[in-house]
Structure 1
């Protein structure tokens, strides 16, 4: 049976499957009667504590259970935290996807990798599109400004009022791309908006974010000062920044080579869609690098966040097949470290410096600016939209709380601001708003192609392995005769050096021998019970002797096996 929300027939339900109390995993739902519209389906990247996990996605169970009511998934823009979960969603339920041309190109690439493109239902939209599904809700859009082309905010029109979800935005009055549609925002505000759901990422920053035009001018100034090779690292999805690097190369008479699969795809998509322009011959093939003098080359690559397998890390560690660092190189990081990536970025910078290259980094040199608006921009959005109710989204709890305070500063009543968690259901009418229900909205871990197969127990084991290693205890036991046939023996990886730990190993074997003997005297004992007794005895013994807690794996074998 599908989950049914505890809302009244005239109420509009608004909820998040991801994006509240966190940066990333954006996925929101608006529901009225028998219609549901989903906004975005993003991923979140794991922190250092989630060993071996590739992505975190929302729990899509509510969507799957109610798939017959879902009219479509509308996409605000093409960043991973807004589109990265689409393949994992479509593997479970094939919903129509509505997105701009660039977002669709990026989505198609993802779906092709997962073998899902042929059956996908993809529809192109733009800022003038109007989506009508034959029911009570319809959708239109307005242009915002962000660090990727074609960002849009979503306006969902319901019989009770308009729900606006901003997507990621900033107000850049000298943008590289198209300017935000202030007139449409103001018109919506004048006509009346029931609820605003607004990006909270930079709610702690009290000022306006820098314009991309400022960043572009600084990149050219830096390129003009550098005499050797330039290695330019940035987010592959920041197409405006890629264009600025190409402009800097052209201005200083340099050729451009691109390394990193995601950046290569961005360049190809940007050229095809007209967002990237480069004179013929500017972008060269990797095989031509050796023919270009150092002072005439810009290497654009992925890896600005210190990712171990990204192009920049492989270059820095001497593992790249085309490029190695050399004295006289300058590595330009046109990015800031995402929270959680700081240590990895610092390690990479140290490696680059040790190789004799210079490093120019991020915000301190005004060669990066955020695509998310600070407090002044968030207040401007609130002033333009003038919502009756407000729900901050896309931010950790403290960011949501600050953003709610900004809403109150701009005239939204305190009781009309809702700081929710994923799975909380806000029920709205034209006059009322209340927390009406909650459904399960857990994190789902993606490890390779496995969705949700990695639970807390597995992660706990990985932590133990990473910190204290593993000890395998092996014994051959005849359960029927209640006799130890061989062993017990101990094997260790990442815990002790076996050759130098003879006393500890022999003591451990005695502990295991006694534990097995005791267990065999129990009525109805089986192999699982013996294994449990081995683990329960060996773990505390090793901790007493070493003050370390390796993962203990008991293996009980019987004579006939």
Structure 2
């Protein structure tokens, strides 16, 4: 079929951030690297996640030997339930990555029928004509690997997400020696993470946040709310060490934060001293200066623990005047509005808020390599050919230019999702394309696939119609000026009695919401949508499109 040529076929992650998925093919054998998702832009109404179009893999399902995972972030493992519903193949990952995968597959009731195989850095294994060696790399998550794949035409190295951290908090350093060994033996192709190609210099070590965080801990007089990505195990470890050192008990709040910390404890990445952790219900039993709350919601997600705490709507997390809230994370582009909205709420509570404001000293470091580390990796491996991965087109283009300008690689090539690249020992060229693109999935279910947004919306409206709750809110007072109205069109079961009860559901949601929540349209719309969706589904088994409208007066 390929007559002695190796094919590289990206299906996601080249031309966008997220949705990372790449196929390597030699004749009748295919291995897939990563199976990620992407969170939708705001214009994709009603879509919860976006996954790669795997038509090519489905068409060749009898040739797919397995899925290799570089690490456990959503943009690398989040598409697995969807992909595995079409392809029943083994999944290979490190111990920590597979712990995340297990939780995800259990949620989708797919764990029992999926074969999960642990791979260890340095432990070589064979899949068809491919011999794979995972190599330890460092990132913002633990237990991450690059993949060195020996193929009949030469070695292909896929870095996964990485930065070069020689002293990470878990002591498992980036394996420079192994990369240098491969460089001496000869590398045909390097596929390298492009995320931070715009940043010059080096990305600091995870430890570099500790001095500034230590200073914040020592200055904080009341409760300290510490928020970071729930997958930032290193950051959680540093925060817990500092809490112990400063005599603070730790309460963990937020589902994702609780799950991650439990997995990290089970696998030995978090060594928590006896008596340090308290139940969230015990926060009030301790003096404020003796408590740290590790809380999820660093991106301002409307129903996250921090967003709810910021408007006094959390059972245990109460933010009082003088408390400190530390957001130890970066602002992901597109989330600025929701993050600053939460920060506004926190300031209204007279909390002291610390976020990435350019202050001297770091409260967050990236998990991705900057330009000098990217150059170092290229110099270590000295690949014949180079293809940048993970990023928008401008990142890929700039990365290829940097690699080419170093005089190490013969050819740096920019490719995008769906391109087919063929390699021999001496040549690399684009030879065609396969079907690639995005598949939109509604409500996180593997069943509700949206082939095309327009078709999906038309089908959704034609089957279940739509329901529009209309609220009139006074912007200054946050008061509801008149009774909410509920309008439905094309909604089967929209009899007057049901609509009247739906109106009461909306009214009750409003009554149970604080003035501040009502002034925060993102939160109030989401609360109304969830409550109304639950009521309508329960009483009619229908799923109309629910679009709350707020009239501001």
1:262 and 2:256 equivalent? yes
Q: Which stretch shows the higher mean deviation, 141-150 or 232-241?
A: 141-150
In 2, Cα distance between the equivalents of 1:451 and 1:439?
24
Report the Cα distance in structure 1 between the residues aligned to 2:73 and 2:182, rounded to whole angstroms: 26
Task: Give the distance between the partners of 1:413 and 1:237, measured in 2 at CA.
Answer: 35
8 Å CA contact 1:74–1:97 kept in 2: the answer is yes
Aligned counterpart, 1:160: 153
1:221 counterpart SS class: helix
Equivalent of 2:48, from 54, 79, 84? 54
User: Hey, what does 2:209 align to over in structure 1?
Assistant: 215
- Give the distance between the partners of 2:193 and 2:368, measured in 1 at CA: 8
- Superposition CA RMSD, Å: 2.4
Determine which of 417, 423, 429 is the counterpart of 2:424.
429
Aligned pair 1:373/2:348, yes or no?
no
What is the TM-score with the length of structure 1 in the denominator?
A: 0.80
Go from structure 1 to structure 2 and tell me whether the alpha carbon gap of 1:459 and 1:233 turns closer, same or farther (over 3 Å shift). Answer: farther
Counterpart secondary structure, 1:149: coil
Cross-structure match for 2:512:
none
TM-score, normalisation: structure 2: 0.81
Residues 1:345 and 2:344 are matched in the alignment: no
Report the Cα distance in structure 2 between the residues aligned to 1:473 and 1:91, rounded to whole angstroms: 34
Quote the residue 2:392 is aligned against. Answer: 396
Q: 1:375, 1:362 → 2: CA distance? A: 22
**What is the 5 A alignment of 1:477-488?**
none
Query: Which residue of structure 1 lines up, in the alignment, with residue 99 of structure 2?
Result: 105
* 2:532 aligned residue: none
CA deviations 1:509-532 (Å, max 9, x no partner) are: xxxxxxxxxxxxxxxxxxxxxxxx
Q: 2:382 aligns with which of 377, 380, 386?
A: 386
**C-alpha distance in 2 between matches for 1:466 and 1:162:** 56
**Residue in 1 that maps onto 2:33:** 39
How far apart are residue 363 of structure 1 and its match? 6.2
Match of 1:205 in 2: 199
CA contact (8 A) 2:164 2:174 kept: yes
Q: Which residue of 2 aligns with 1:546?
A: none
Q: Which residue of 2 aligns with 1:191?
A: 185
Find 1:235's aligned residue among 205, 229, 233.
Answer: 229
Q: Which residue of 1 aligns with 2:434?
A: 439
Shifted more, 210-219 versus 184-193: the winner is 210-219
C-alpha separation in 2, matches of 1:136 and 1:92: 24
Check the 8 A contact 1:162/1:195 in 2, yes or no.
yes
Q: Structure 2: 5+ residue runs without aligned partners? A: 471-485, 491-548
CA distance in 2, matches of 1:426, 1:128: 28
For 1:8 and 1:125, the matched residues in 2 are separated by 29
User: 2:176 pairs with 159, 178, 182, which one?
Assistant: 182
* Contact residue 257 and residue 289 of structure 1 kept, 8 A: yes
Q: CA deviation at 1:264?
A: 0.4
> How far off its partner does 1:216 sit?
2.1
* Residue 27 of structure 2 corresponds to residue 28 of structure 1: no
Specify the alignment match of 1:312 in structure 2: 306
CA distance in 2, matches of 1:324, 1:286: 10
Provide the C-alpha distance between the structure 1 equivalents of 2:89 and 2:74, rounded to a whole number of angstroms. 19
Q: Could you tell me which residue of structure 1 aligns to residue 449 of structure 2?
A: 452
Q: SS where residue 49 of structure 1 aligns?
A: coil
Whether the 8 Å CA contact 2:383–2:409 is kept in 1: the answer is no
Change (3 A) 1:148 1:172: same
- How far apart in 1 are the matches of 2:489 and 2:144? 57
In our comparison, the structure showing a higher alpha carbon Rg is 1
- Cα deviation, residue 173, structure 1: 2.8
Verify the 8 A CA contact 1:168 1:199 in the aligned structure 2. Answer: yes
Q: Distance in 1 between matches of 2:489 and 2:246?
A: 65
How many residues in Structure 1 have an aligned counterpart in Structure 2?
Answer: 468
Contact 1:165 1:197 in 2 (8 A): yes
256-265 or 51-60, which moves further after superposition? 51-60
Instruction: Choose the corresponding residue for 1:295, options 289, 292, 298.
Output: 289
Summarize deviations over 1:71-100 as a string: whole Å, max 9, x none.
111111111111111111112221100111
| Displacement of 1:410 | 1.9
Given candidates 137, 141, 158, the residue that maps to 2:134 is 141
- Quick check: 1:409 aligned with 2:400? no
What does the per-residue CA deviation read over 1:35-86, in whole Å, with 9 as the maximum and x for residues that have no partner?
1111111111122222232211111221122121111111111111111111
Instruction: Tell me how far apart the structure 1 counterparts of residues 16 and 369 of structure 2 sit (CA, whole Å).
Output: 17
CA distance in 1, matches of 2:125, 2:467: 50
Please say if residues 30 and 36 of structure 1, whose CA atoms lie closer than 8 Å, have aligned partners that are also in contact.
yes
Q: Deviations over 1:427-484 (max 9, x none)?
A: 0000011101111111111111144226321677899x999x999889xxxxxxxxxx
Partner secondary structure for residue 193 of structure 1 = coil
d(CA) in 1 for partners of 2:98, 2:441:
23
Which of the numbers 246, 251, 265 marks the counterpart of 2:245? 251
1:132 correspondence with 2:126: yes
Matched, 1:16 2:27: no
Shift of 1:131: 1.6
1:525-559, Cα deviation, whole Å (9 max, x unpaired): xxxxxxxxxxxxxxxxxxxxxxxxxx9xxxxxxxx
How far, CA to CA, are the matches of 2:163 and 2:287 in structure 1? 40
In the TM superposition, residue 129 of structure 1 has moved relative to its aligned partner by 1.6
Matched residue, 2:507: none
CA contact (8 A) 1:220 1:251 kept: no
Q: Which moved more, 1:221-230 or 1:363-372?
A: 363-372
Q: Distance in 2 between matches of 1:180 and 1:152?
A: 9
Return the alpha-carbon distance in structure 2 between the equivalents of residues 269 and 187 of structure 1: 33
Which deviates the most, 405-414 or 27-36? 405-414
Kept in 2, the 8 Å contact 1:335–1:363? The answer is no
- The CA distance in 2 between the partners of 1:460 and 1:156, in whole Å, is 43
Q: Secondary structure at the match of 2:358?
A: helix
Q: Distance in 2 between matches of 1:280 and 1:272?
A: 15
Following superposition, the deviation at residue 372 of structure 1 comes to: 0.2
DSSP 3-state at the match of 2:313: coil
Q: Give 2:543's aligned residue.
A: none
